[in-house]
């Protein structure tokens, strides 16, 4: 088998120079195209930006196929609730596009890239080819005690999301088929891996969805000014634990009068966070910067002393980026961020019985790093080293050859088992027929 394979990848979200899922989709496609011949199915409005960047980087092996549902359905994706339904139907319709390309090309491997939702099926699973699913996973449910009592809509939404995810994971034949037909499953976190049926766990491989492009840091990056600079980056929503972050900083602020806190991101909690900062008397030390371009967020990370990210999510895609920028991480010992942070690159804080107690634990972790500069600097170096070794995009791309080889081997093994089963069925059927004929002959003789 040639080292260079024909790979069909799907990435609903895929665009250069963006963070989150779109940036992840682009960087995975880019890594595939550097090593293999890649056909990429994505949203039609992503095509121009991808082709322009591919041409600029000399990625002649990347061919982009734009695909969308009919125009009357596209309005759904502009609404938060309808976007999930649109993505689900996009995946189901994707199979026909993939089959047409398969007839024209004949692929060695199929690879689903984005979204990283394990509870929504992949259209590529409908083809009988070696299939890699992921990285995929799902968010754990936010514990009820960490949602404000007054936030009735937030609580209802969390219950609804949990019910939908659980219902699709358990009851949707297309999701079950995706899991069955996957030859390798790249798992974002233990949360997802532990939920996979035992018979499929042999196909699991841990893999971060997000990666980093190493950027040179100035020689004095790991030094700090007198005041500790704390940074948060992400959507301003309850899933990200941003309320906890503000309360944690308030504890640090009482002990360190010059410390500052910047929040990069937008979301529905922006106004309430600003009001809470004013109530705490911190309006001059807490800056809500709103949504920033990806490069601007990375620049903020390279200036911060600590990255505070008490998110409940299953992935935590900004965490490796903060680590690569030389930021030790303070997070919850929960979900994806807790798994990535470890003990040599940040501090993980357990979930206590109340939000106030958990915020106090996060605040004490900030105070600890403020007062022990030696520990903060050691964790910063450890974070940077881990990110470059594990999360750098080139390092992740180098793993593709082994992942694809194992997918092809598994697929060929299953196909061989099916052929062997058919042969046995044929012999058994022939023997059954001979026995039937013999018995009929004996019956005629007796008659």
For the chain, the structural domain boundaries read: 6-209, 229-394
Across 202-224, average pLDDT: 91
Number of helices followed by number of strands (H, E) in the chain: 15, 13
Q: Residue 93 CA to chain centroid, in angstroms?
A: 22
Contact 24/113 with Cβ under 8 angstroms? yes
Across 52-79, average pLDDT: 86
pLDDT value at position 367?
98
pLDDT for 163 beyond 60: no
pLDDT value at position 435?
35
Burial class (CB in 10 A: 0-12, 13-18, 19+), 49: middle
Residue with the bigger pLDDT between 374 and 445: it is 374
d(CA 303, CA 138) in angstroms, rounded, equals 31
Contact 11/42 with Cβ under 8 angstroms? yes
Across 330-342, average pLDDT: 90
Across 246-264, average pLDDT: 96
pLDDT value at position 434?
38
Q: How confident is the model at residue 335 (pLDDT cuts 50, 70, 90)?
A: confident
Across 283-306, average pLDDT: 95
Q: Is it true that the peptide bond before 398 is cis, omega within 30 degrees of 0?
A: no
Contact 211/198 with Cβ under 8 angstroms? no
Look at residues 329, 315, 312, 317 and name the one whose alpha carbon lies nearest to residue 384: 329
Residue with the bigger pLDDT between 170 and 311: it is 311
User: pLDDT, tens digit, for every residue of 434-446?
Assistant: 333 333 333 333 2
CATH number for domain 229-394, candidates 3.40.50.2000, 3.30.479.30, 3.40.50.300, 3.40.190.170: 3.40.50.2000
Q: How confident is the model at residue 83 (pLDDT cuts 50, 70, 90)?
A: confident
Contact 340/211 with Cβ under 8 angstroms? no
pLDDT for 182 beyond 60: yes
- Alpha-carbon distance values, 63 to 25, 199, 238, 339 (Å): 14, 35, 39, 35
d(CA 100, CA 277) in angstroms, rounded, equals 56
Residue with the bigger pLDDT between 5 and 188: it is 5
- Provide, rounded to the nearest whole percent, the portion of the chain with pLDDT above 70: 86
Across 181-207, average pLDDT: 87
Look at residues 241, 266, 238 and name the one whose alpha carbon lies nearest to residue 359: 241
Q: How confident is the model at residue 431 (pLDDT cuts 50, 70, 90)?
A: very low
Q: How confident is the model at residue 156 (pLDDT cuts 50, 70, 90)?
A: low
User: pLDDT, tens digit, for every residue of 221-247?
Assistant: 999 888 999 999 999 999 899 999 999
**Assigned CATH topology for domain 6-209:** Rossmann fold (3.40.50)
Range from 16-25, 262-271, 412-421 carrying the lowest mean pLDDT: 412-421
d(CA 85, CA 168) in angstroms, rounded, equals 12
Q: Name beta bridge partners: 133.
A: 112, 185
pLDDT value at position 278?
97
d(CA 238, CA 31) in angstroms, rounded, equals 33
The yes-or-no answer to whether 6-209 and 229-394 have a common fold is yes
pLDDT value at position 433?
39
User: pLDDT, tens digit, for every residue of 106-152?
Assistant: 999 999 999 878 888 999 999 999 999 989 987 777 787 887 764 55
**Average model confidence (pLDDT) for the chain?**
86
Across 396-410, average pLDDT: 95
């Amino acid at each position: 088998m040639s080292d260079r394979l024909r790979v069909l990848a799907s990435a609903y979200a895929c665009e250069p120079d963006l963070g989150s899922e779109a940036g992840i989709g682009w960087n995975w496609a880019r890594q595939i195209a550097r090593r293999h011949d890649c056909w990429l199915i994505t949203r039609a409005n992503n095509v121009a930006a991808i082709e322009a960047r591919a041409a600029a980087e000399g990625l002649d092996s990347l061919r982009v196929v734009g695909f969308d549902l009919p125009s009357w359905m596209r309005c759904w994706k502009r609404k938060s609730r309808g976007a999930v339904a649109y993505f689900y139907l996009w995946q189901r319709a994707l199979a026909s596009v993939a089959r047409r390309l398969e007839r024209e090309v004949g692929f060695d491997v199929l690879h689903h890239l984005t979204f990283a939702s394990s509870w929504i099926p992949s259209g590529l699973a409908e083809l009988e080819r070696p299939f890699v699913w992921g990285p995929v996973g799902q968010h754990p449910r936010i514990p009820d005690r960490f949602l404000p009592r007054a936030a009735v809509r937030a609580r209802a939404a969390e219950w609804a999301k949990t019910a939908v995810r659980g219902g699709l994971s358990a009851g949707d034949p297309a999701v079950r088929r995706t899991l069955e037909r996957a030859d390798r499953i790249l798992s974002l976190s233990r949360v997802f891996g532990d939920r996979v049926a035992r018979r499929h766990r042999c196909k699991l491989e841990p893999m971060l969805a997000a990666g980093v492009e190493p950027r040179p840091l100035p020689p004095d990056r790991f030094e700090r000014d007198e005041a500790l600079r704390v940074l948060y980056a992400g959507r301003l929503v309850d899933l990200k634990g941003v309320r906890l972050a503000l309360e944690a900083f308030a504890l640090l602020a009482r002990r360190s009068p010059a410390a500052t806190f910047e929040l990069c991101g937008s979301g529905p909690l922006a106004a309430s966070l600003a009001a809470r900062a004013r109530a705490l008397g911190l309006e001059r030390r807490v800056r809500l910067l709103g949504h920033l371009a990806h490069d601007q967020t990375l620049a903020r990370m390279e200036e911060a002393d600590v990255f505070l990210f008490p998110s409940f999510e299953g992935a935590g895609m900004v965490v490796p980026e903060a680590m690569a920028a030389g930021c030790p991480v303070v997070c919850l010992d929960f979900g994806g961020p807790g798994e990535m942070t470890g003990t040599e690159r940040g501090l993980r804080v357990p979930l206590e019985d109340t939000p106030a107690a958990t915020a106090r634990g996060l605040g004490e972790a900030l105070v600890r790093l403020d007062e022990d500069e030696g520990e903060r600097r050691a964790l910063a170096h450890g974070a940077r080293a881990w990110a470059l070794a594990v999360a750098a995009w080139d390092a992740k791309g180098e793993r593709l050859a082994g992942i694809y080889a194992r997918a092809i081997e598994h697929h060929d093994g299953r196909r061989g088992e099916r052929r062997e089963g058919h042969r046995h069925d044929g012999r058994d059927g022939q023997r059954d027929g001979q026995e039937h004929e013999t018995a009929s002959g004996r019956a005629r003789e007796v008659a």
